[in-house]
Amino acid sequence: MRSWYHTIEFPDGRVTPGFYDTREAPRYIPWPQRLEGARCLDVGTFDGFWAFEMERRGAAEVVALDLADPEALDWPYDNRTRGPRLIREWGSQRRTGFAEASEALGSKVDWIDQSAYSLDPERNGMFDVVFCGALLQHLRDPIRALEAMRSVCRGSLVLAEGIEPRLEVLARRVPAAMLVMNLDQWWRANSAGLVAMARRAGFTVEEVGPRYVTPFGGGAERDTTPPRLNSWLARGRGGKGILHRAIRATPRPPDDATAR
């Protein structure tokens, strides 16, 4: 049996039972002014929701990047054996859902098996839009990954990440991140921390979107009742679920004294 990460609607009316339901999230993303005709990259695509969304919005070419081998993911020390085993037991490998969704949607998105850390302009070319959704919290070194994204970005970077609500309240203006002791997660930042990571990786932050909530989908086998704090911080955007925020940034030259 295979499990889905994203909730994706197919033309024949089927809806995938994703662990998360991101279908309303695109309305809260600070998209670049123009996606039509752009060359786009979706980093950490999983089932491909955001790659297909950019294609739907008129991108000329979309490349979806992820790792097919569970062993290659950034596992914490104590989960390096258990983590890949659970991925295979759950049937939640990265490539299988994408392939099925791509066929059902008639998509032309190109899936590549590659780590975010190894992005390189000579290997991958340059992109007008680099999108990264809910990946940084799963990486041991998120800033290193962002620097790699910077190397292939000639236009806009869009980050849509889970935000830690407690830090959002207790350290609102201080860039902060909390070490998360979950199976495959490392960091969860507040909004100021997400902005600071992008700046440290060589980007100028142009726009910060509103907080919004991504609800659990039909494939979530857990209590989906969220903390009230998430809903309060999101001000009704997205109902109940996990708190998120998205930013749009552009690459800046090295040693730019006007960096912000």
Q: In CATH, what number is assigned to the domain containing residue 157?
A: 3.40.50.150
- 3-state SS, the chain, equals CCCEEECCECCCCCECCEEECCCCHHHHCCCCCCCCCCEEEEECCCCCHHHHHHHHCCCCEEEEEECCCHHHCCCCHHHCCHHHHHHHHHCCCHHHHHHHHHHHHCCCCEEEECCHHHCCHHHHCCEEEEEEECCHHHCCCHHHHHHHHHHCEEEEEEEEEEECHHHHHHCCCCCCEEECCCCCCCEEECHHHHHHHHHHCCEEEEEECCCEEECECCCCCCCCCCCHHHHHHHCCCCCCCEEEEEEEEEECCCCCCCCC
Q: Is residue 258 part of a domain?
A: no
Percent of the chain with pLDDT over 90: 80
pTM, rounded to two decimals: 0.94
**Residue with the larger pLDDT of the pair 255 and 209:** 209
pLDDT at 159 over 70: yes
Q: Is residue 47 part of a domain?
A: yes
Q: Is residue 55 part of a domain?
A: yes
pLDDT at 63 over 80: yes
Q: What integer pLDDT is reported at residue 236 of this predicted model?
A: 83
Rounded to an integer, the average pLDDT of 142-150 is 98
Q: Is residue 179 part of a domain?
A: yes
Q: Is residue 257 part of a domain?
A: no
Q: What integer pLDDT is reported at residue 92 of this predicted model?
A: 83
Q: Is residue 259 part of a domain?
A: no
Number of domains in the chain: 1
Q: Is residue 229 part of a domain?
A: yes
Question: Which range marks the domain in which residue 26 is found?
Answer: 4-251
Q: What integer pLDDT is reported at residue 95 of this predicted model?
A: 87
Q: Is residue 28 part of a domain?
A: yes
